[in-house]
Structure 1
Amino acid sequence: MSDLFSALLLGILEGLTEFLPISSTGHLLIAQHWLGARSDFFNIVIQAGAILAITLVFRQRLWSLATGLHDRANRDYVLKLGTAFLVTAVVGLPVRLAGWELPETVTPIAWALIIGGIWMILVEMRAARLPDRDEVTWKVAVLVGLAQVVAGVFPGTSRSAAAIFIAMLFGLSRRAAATEFVFLVGIPTMFAASGYAFLELAKDGKLASENWTDVGVAFVAAVITGFVVVKWLLGYIKAHRFTAFAYYRIALGAALLLFLPAGN
């Protein structure tokens, strides 16, 4: 398989999994055991491609927030988005500077998938007993920021799953409200992560060694696929729970442990 075709497949996979609560990073790392390993820069930048897709989906919502800051509700919402992003940056940057790297085996990813799936089922059961609430509190904003850091440190956790279910557990019992807030927080989070990765690459003098054609193809594929997936998911969650994704996580994690017991 050519490197360009494998980059295309990875871009499609990223777009499919970034917004579903099944861990895009985990799926990329698993896929790269067969399609060939890629740099952290490649993985982060194609995630930014998926985030560009969500920017396009929510373009009207973003415009209404940007032009409606005179309204107190809009202003508070934007401030809470900023708080969640700052928490992620303040806590996550030291982790990155400490030399954290993605795992080279799938075993920790498999366990994160299983544990996360069980946790999702429990949270859904808890949220079903709570009254409908769609107001983002400051506590939810801070916890969403922390959840994004946890998901970044433990691939397989899923940034969207960790943040959405933390929001549902501590205040936003409505899945649609929690999903929208988490998706909007992801826009500055992933763009900042991509920018930081680019600066690191430039600082180390590795820009010339990166395969920009592969990165570009994967980026475009992630944008297109991510746009389609987000539009579908926003409709799906209006009438369904996330339980099906939880069972998928558990099944995939168990299969990885069963067929790759040594963590290959």
Structure 2
Amino acid sequence: MSDLLSALLLGILEGLTEFLPISSTGHLLIAQHWLGARSDFFNIVIQAGAILAVVLAFRQRLWTLATGLNQAENRDYVMKLGVAFLVTAVVGLPVRLAGWELPETVTPVAWALVIGGVWMLLAERFAGRLPDSTTITWKVAVAVGLAQVIAGVFPGTSRSAAAIFLAMLLGLTRRAAAAEFVFLVGIPTMFAASGYALLEMAKKGQLGNENWTDVGVAFVAAAITGFIVVKWLLSYIKRRPFTGFALYRIALGFGLLLFLPAGN
């Protein structure tokens, strides 16, 4: 398989899995087992493509918030987005600097997939007993920020799954409202994380020797695929629960444990 085709497939895979609650890390781990490992720079760039997809998917909502700050409802929403982002930054940066992160190898990622799948099944069932609500409280905003930090420490957890289900358990029970808030918080969070990682690599002189054609193709593929997936997911969860994603995670996690070497 050519390097360009490999890059295209990895970009599509990133766009498919970044925002679904199934863990992009687990899927890229499998894909790179056969398609070949890529540089950290490549992985950061395709993640940036997925972030761009969210900006495009929510462009109207973002514009409404930006131009409607004179309305109390919009100000409140933006402030809660800001709190969630600040919690992630204030707690997450020391965690990152301390190096508190499990390795992206098969065993921890696989168990994170399985445990996360079980957590999703239990959380969905419990949240289903709560009153239907689209209200985003300050408690939800703080919890979403903390959930993003937890997902960063435990690769395979899925940032979207951790944050959406914690928000639902704390009262934001309408799936689409929880997903929208988590995705919007993810825009500054993921851009900041990607920018920080790129600065670290630049300081170490690790940005050279890249095939820019491969990087560009993967970035565009991740952006286009991510846009389609986000729009589809928001429509899907208005009618159906996350149960299918949870069962898929559990099956994938056990599949990784059984069929991929633990050291990879």
Tell me the TM-score normalized by structure 1: 0.96
Partner of 2:130: 130
Partner of 1:20: 20
Which whole-Å CA distance do the structure 1 matches of 2:134 and 2:44 have between them?
31
Distance 1:100 1:32, change over 3 A: farther
Which whole-Å CA distance do the structure 2 matches of 1:262 and 1:69 have between them?
51
Is 20-29 or 72-81 further displaced after alignment?
20-29
Matched letter for residue 216 of structure 2: G
Identical columns (%): 83
Which whole-Å CA distance do the structure 2 matches of 1:157 and 1:128 have between them?
22
Report the CA distance between 1:44 and its aligned residue: 2.5
Partner of 1:258: 258
Matched letter for residue 245 of structure 2: F
Contact 2:106 2:262 in 1 (8 A): no
Partner of 1:115: 115
Q: SS at the partner of 1:129?
A: coil
Matched letter for residue 187 of structure 1: I
Which whole-Å CA distance do the structure 1 matches of 2:238 and 2:252 have between them?
25
Which whole-Å CA distance do the structure 1 matches of 2:243 and 2:62 have between them?
29
5+ long unaligned stretches in structure 1: none
1:113-163 Cα deviation digits (max 9, x unpaired): 000000000011011111011111111111101101111111110000000
- Match runs of 1:184-263 below 5 Å: 184-260=184-260, 262-263=262-263
Report the CA distance between 1:100 and its aligned residue: 5.2
Distance 1:20 1:137, change over 3 A: same
Which whole-Å CA distance do the structure 2 matches of 1:82 and 1:70 have between them?
17
Report the CA distance between 1:261 and its aligned residue: 5.8
- Match runs of 1:1-264 below 5 Å: 1-99=1-99, 103-260=103-260, 262-264=262-264
Report the CA distance between 1:229 and its aligned residue: 0.8
Report the CA distance between 1:218 and its aligned residue: 1.0
Is 244-253 or 88-97 further displaced after alignment?
88-97
Is 208-217 or 62-71 further displaced after alignment?
208-217
Which whole-Å CA distance do the structure 1 matches of 2:175 and 2:157 have between them?
18
Which whole-Å CA distance do the structure 2 matches of 1:116 and 1:161 have between them?
8
Which whole-Å CA distance do the structure 1 matches of 2:262 and 2:19 have between them?
29
Q: SS at the partner of 2:157?
A: coil
Which whole-Å CA distance do the structure 2 matches of 1:51 and 1:40 have between them?
17
**Total equivalences in the alignment:** 264
Q: SS at the partner of 1:130?
A: coil
Runs of 4+ in 1 over 6 A off after TM superposition: none
1:153-180 Cα deviation digits (max 9, x unpaired): 1111000000000100112011011000
Distance 1:61 1:252, change over 3 A: same
Distance 1:43 1:155, change over 3 A: same
Q: SS at the partner of 2:219?
A: helix
Matched letter for residue 48 of structure 2: A
Contact 1:85 1:145 in 2 (8 A): yes
Which whole-Å CA distance do the structure 1 matches of 2:102 and 2:211 have between them?
20
1:183-227 Cα deviation digits (max 9, x unpaired): 100111111111112211221122223333322211110000011
Matched letter for residue 186 of structure 2: G
Which whole-Å CA distance do the structure 1 matches of 2:104 and 2:231 have between them?
33
Report the CA distance between 1:5 and its aligned residue: 1.6
Contact 2:101 2:154 in 1 (8 A): no
Q: SS at the partner of 2:130?
A: coil
Report the CA distance between 1:41 and its aligned residue: 2.7
Contact 2:102 2:108 in 1 (8 A): no
Q: SS at the partner of 2:110?
A: helix
Which whole-Å CA distance do the structure 1 matches of 2:218 and 2:257 have between them?
28
